[in-house]
Each structure stands twice: as C-alpha cells, then as structure tokens.
Amino acid sequence: MGEKIPMEGVNISPKMARVSVLASGADLTAGFLHPMARDRINLKLLITEDRIDGARVSCCVAAEDRSRTKSLIDAEPGPAQRAEIHEPVGLISIFPLRSSLKTLGLALMALANAQIPVHAFCSSLSALTLVIDHDRLQEALAAFECCFDFPGERPPDSNESPPLP
C-alpha cells in the first residue's frame, strides 16, 4: 500500500432511497421533477442519462420521503411505468476531489476490493459521492481509510439525520 492521500473530510448520509425512473424528456420534467419540487422533496445526487427510449433519471431521497415519492410516481402514468425504488442506500462523500482521477480510481478500487457494490456515483465541484447499500457505509469508510487520510474523528454510524445543534 502506497502513501495515503490526504483528504479534508468524509461525509456519510443517513438512510435514503434511490429512485430511478425512465421517461420521455417532457414526462421527466412535468411528471417527476415538478411534482417532487411541488411537494418539497429534496433530491440528492440527481443523475440523468439520455437513452434511445427516453431519459433515465436517478436520485436519492430521504428514507422518510420514500412513501410520498412513491405516491407521486404512481400518480403519473408516464414515469410510473418504469420506476424503481431501491432502499436503503446511503451516500458516502469524500473531498476535495478537484478532478483527481487518482482519487476516483483509488476510491473505486477500495470499494471493489471490499466487494461493496456501487449503485451510482458522481463528482461535484469538490466532492466525490458514491451511492452504496446503507448497511455497508462503515465498511466503505474503513476501505477508504486504507488509502485516504481523513482528519478528525470517524463520522458516526447514523441511521437518522444528524440532530440540530
């Protein structure tokens, strides 16, 4: 094992549900994203994928919003035809990423070596965020600690949103 890459931090989410719908472009906005916004359901990690048969959007919602999300999808005939909900999942984010392919490669290798399936991942301005099964978040963190150096204490194993201070 080489020298660990210093990182500034790691975040672990509470339990979430991953929602995936396949719809035409118009359906996606009117039939999925707009109702979610209207019902004030926060989306995490929104990923869109253009396909020949439409567009697939995948996102994560808080576990407590899962039922409302399912109701909204079922109420819309378009997206409901090919919708999937997978739960419980969790997000693990490490930062800073700064477009580092080495960081991305090490993170994916660490999870592969630990045999932890990755459902989705994306990078943002600073962070690399991966969607994995919630009950494997601590394993993923341990795997990351073998190749990344995180400051401070290990994030707690949380099944709920962090309490307001």
Partner 1 sequence: MNDKKLILVVDDDPDLVEAISMKLESENYRVAKAYDGIQAWDRIKQERPHLIILDVMMPNKNGYHVCDELKKNPQYSNITVVLLTAVGDAVTSTKYTHMDGKTALADEFIPKPIDLDNLMEIVKDYTR
Q: Is residue 95 within a helix (H) or strand (E), and if so which, with residue range?
A: strand 83-95
Residue 95 interacts with partner 1 (CB under 8 A): yes or no: yes
Three-class SS state of 107: helix
CB of 40 to partner 1, least distance (A): 11
Residue 42 interacts with partner 1 (CB under 8 A): yes or no: no
**Of the residues 81, 113, 124, 159, which one makes contact with partner 1 according to CB under 8 A:** 124
Alpha-carbon separation of residue 98 from 63, 143, 153 (angstroms)? 30, 21, 23
**Of the residues 4, 30, 96, 120, which one makes contact with partner 1 according to CB under 8 A:** 96
Alpha-carbon separation of residue 77 from 32, 43, 80, 157 (angstroms)? 10, 21, 5, 38
Query: Taking Cα atoms as reference points, which of 104, 109, 134, 105 lies closest to residue 119?
Result: 134
Residue 152 interacts with partner 1 (CB under 8 A): yes or no: yes
Residue 162 interacts with partner 1 (CB under 8 A): yes or no: yes
Residue 14 interacts with partner 1 (CB under 8 A): yes or no: no
| Residues making contact with partner 1 (CB under 8 A) | 8-9, 11, 93, 95-96, 124-127, 151-152, 162, 164-165
